[in-house]
Chains A and B, each alone.
Chain A
């Protein structure tokens, strides 16, 4: 098994920074709204979800305005969807670099998280605006938010590494990625509260780490319902397993990247 070689990664940390910066700059160059897009997309989604699930389907909102409930979930979801998509495409998308020069390949998927991260920070600021508008005070659990951010990061990178490496060998992956990011949104409690899932299915449902991430984000920001602890544990276990196996698979496959791309 190839070693992780953290020393080498450290040597290349500036490249990681430059690539991340490139992705962010290029994404918003020549766009009129610029980085506002990071807010516009989740905002419009929030409006639709609030109307469809809140007003028409009248799903429970855990005692907060439906718009706030949805937008809080859209934050981590949007991060996951963007960062996962970018990570999964990072190796094939930068194939010309892989065949022309050496650098630790792990840099590419890691750098592509930056785009999602910048978007999230922007929409996070808007979340406070929305909360102020609806007069929802941040909950005292807000200290726990960084932990759920970390969980989200671990899951995203873990799954992203798997897909990035698989995509090099199997081009089917490209067709599969939209399923994860689109259907996943309806499977995860983005547009609704996970309290509507029957109690006996709750643990099974929580095998999707985004359930723990979203519930945790809502809990720490809005103070909604009690956190379902076994679900959080399940989410953490799944995420860590994905990350560890993802790194191992990636390191094993990276030797053939240049030959196969």
Chain B
């Protein structure tokens, strides 16, 4: 197996601060007048940042490699160097073969041009020959499902159509080495599945792929090998399962809780609201998918109140309400007696129910006669650790662990 990508001691230095992004001629002239003989290349160490440092790796033919790491770990910089958009400050990367990079879909799309025109333009930007685009044109259009709108300017497209067309062009590239940034995170769920399918095809064709994603499910289902970047350096490199689990178990353990500062005069005074791991009671984020997640509400009632219930709504990151649960669901009545004093409610979300992702919690509290909705008072993350989704990238808003029975041949 020949190596198609060889990176040796790659480093990329960025200068910080706005003045270095681009410079105003006047400043430069003033500098030169003030100190005409000083070397202007010398920059204080605290103004520079090594976005990448001492990065070594090799990627062989028909290997599919995932690039993971937190935001700012250097993933994007490495992708840009691999795509030849920018050059490394030190070290070198050798690429053997035709490279196509998809850091974004629809580069060069012009809103005034028709779908047909944009396919040709975008194809050319991605490095496809006119002949090649013509040959694949029908396939591209069918994949994007925009046949009827081919001669409509893309500015009249819905965002879904736009993205589908843009991805369709990209999906029909034929490179030796494909470099992909999270372009999969576009479109509706059905289209995402289609894209993922296309990625598997590309893998099946034996192409070399480097893919960056925050979704460990995508990484696990596509890649054989993973490079974990941390603060610009390679933290770990190797077998997908091993690196992904190491990465996930290190997941940021930040505490989440919401404590309203101002005591409101009437009638629920929240002391604290938080989400915790159900097994340890520890308030952390993210919570592994296979442990219960507890939403805890603590408040004080200092005035008499008619009986009522607390209502909890859990919504997905996009705001779609997933389910509603009330404090009286398990009771025979529809209400709690509100005694004056402290109250503590805990709502347990069972393990292996939610798919990995970010969830927002809203609380509705009774205020005697009417309800008050506190929207999105806190959010929590279900991590991919222990999730069925991480295991095989299955589709669905939830990922419940259900009971199966197999009664043989009856």
- Which A residues are closer than 8 A to B by beta carbons? 12, 14-15, 17-19, 22, 25-26, 29-30, 96-103, 168-173, 255-256, 258-261
Contact = CB atoms under 8 A, between A and B. Distances in A.
Interface size class of B (residues with CB under 8 A): 20 to 34
Interface string B104-128: 1001101011000100110011110
14 contacts: A14-B130, A19-B108, A25-B112, A26-B113, A97-B108, A100-B107, A101-B85, A101-B103, A101-B107, A101-B126, A169-B22, A170-B28, A171-B24, A259-B86
Contact of A97 (B25, B117, B125): B125
Nearest to A99: B85
Contacts, number: 78
B112 A29 contact: yes
Nearest to B104: A100
Contacts of B80: 99, 258
Contacts of A18: 120-121, 124-125
A168 B25 CA distance: 12
Contacts of A169: 22-23
B22 A25 contact: no
B83 interface: yes
A170 B103 contact: no
B6 interface: no
Contacts of B130: 14
Nearest to A29: B112
Contacts of A103: 125, 127
B110 A26 contact: yes
A170 B83 CA distance: 26
Nearest to B82: A102
B340 interface: no
B252 interface: no
A168 B107 contact: no
Contacts of B108: 19, 22, 97
A102 to B, nearest CB: 4
Given A14-B129, A18-B120, A26-B113, A102 B22 contact: no
A98 B85 contact: yes
A102 B93 CA distance: 15
A51 to B, nearest CB: 37
The 8 closest A-B pairs by CB, nearest first: A102-B84, A172-B25, A18-B124, A258-B86, A170-B25, A15-B124, A258-B85, A29-B112
A258 to B, nearest CB: 4
